[in-house]
Amino acid sequence: MDTVVHLAGGARDQARATVEELNGLASFRLLRAAERAGARHFVWITPLGATPHHPMRMHRAKALAAAAIEAADIPTTTLAHSLIYTPGDPHLLWIERLGYLPAVPLVGRGIARTQPIWAEDMADAVLAALQSPEGQRRFELAGPETLTQREIVRLVLAAAGRRRRALPLPLVGLRAALRAEETLAGPTSLITWDEAQLLAVEMLSARGTADAEALGVTPRRMPAVLGARSRQPTSSAPSDSA
C-alpha cells in the first residue's frame, strides 16, 4: 500500500465507538498501521479551527489526532477544511425540513461564520494532494464566500423555493432539548447536539481559496452549487428579520 487516505469521522456516537474514538484514537491507530505496512504517504482531513479546547467533541478529538500525525515517521498531508456540503446531505436536508415550519430555528444567534466548500471541490483537492508527497504538509481548504449560519439557512431555503423567518434559539435551551431527544431516540435521533453545533462554530481560513487553488481547484460559490442564486433573498428581505 503506497498511500492511505483517511476521510472517516463523525460527530455522533456509534454503537461501538464514541466520537472521541472515531475521530481521535482511530486516526492514530490507522496512522500507526500505515507506518507498519510501509505506506509512503498518509492523507487525512480535519476541520479548520480544531483545538484541544474546542467546544465540539469531534474537533477536540481531531486536534489530538493532528498532534500525532504531525509527528509521523512518514510523509503526511493534512487537509483542514471549512464546512463541507453537497445538495441533499444530512445538514442541508435538516434545514430544508425545518423550512416547513413557520420560522426556522437557528443554533444560537446564527452569526457563526464558515467558508462552505462543495464536496466535489473537496474531493478534487484530495485527489490532487495525493501527488508528490514530501515531509509534513498542510492545506487549508475553504470556499470563496464567508457565510453566517443565518445566510446558509437562507440559501438552502431559497434553493427549495421557501422563504421563512429565522428564529435564534439560546444555546442552553437547545442543548437541553437535543440531549433529551438523544436520550429518548438513541441512535435514531434526527440530529444530535454535537451535529447541530457544526452550524454554530466558526471554520475559517485567512488564506481563503489560495490553498485549494494551489492544488488546482477553484471552489464554486454555494449559491451556484445549490441553484439558489436567482432566488436568494436580499439582506433587507423579511426572512432576515429575527
Decide the pairing of beta strands 113-114 and 147-148.
Answer: antiparallel
pLDDT attached to residue 169: 83
**Mean pLDDT, rounded, for 200-205:** 92
Instruction: Share the mean pLDDT of the chain.
Output: 88
pLDDT attached to residue 11: 86
Cα(227)–Cα(87) distance, integer angstroms = 10
Q: Which of 193, 225, 30, 51 is nearest to 121 (CA)?
A: 225
Tell whether the model's pLDDT for residue 82 goes beyond 90.
Answer: yes
Tell whether the model's pLDDT for residue 242 goes beyond 60.
Answer: no
Cα(66)–Cα(159) distance, integer angstroms = 36
**Mean pLDDT, rounded, for 64-80:** 95
Tell whether the model's pLDDT for residue 205 goes beyond 60.
Answer: yes
CA 112 to chain centre: 13
pLDDT attached to residue 122: 98
Domain that holds residue 8: 3-240
Cβ-proximal residues to 214 (8 Å cutoff; 6+ apart), any chain: 139
pLDDT digits (tens, 9 = 90+) for 133-155: 888 999 999 999 999 999 999 99
Q: Which three cell numbers stand for residue 71?
A: 509527528
Tell whether the model's pLDDT for residue 182 goes beyond 80.
Answer: no
CA 171 to chain centre: 19
Tell whether the model's pLDDT for residue 238 goes beyond 50.
Answer: no
Q: How many domains does the chain have?
A: 1
Tell whether the model's pLDDT for residue 131 goes beyond 50.
Answer: yes
CATH number of the domain bearing residue 14: 3.40.50.720
**Model pTM score:** 0.86
Alpha helix (H) residue ranges in the chain: 19-20, 26-36, 57-70, 90-98, 119-129, 149-159, 171-185, 193-196, 210-214, 222-226
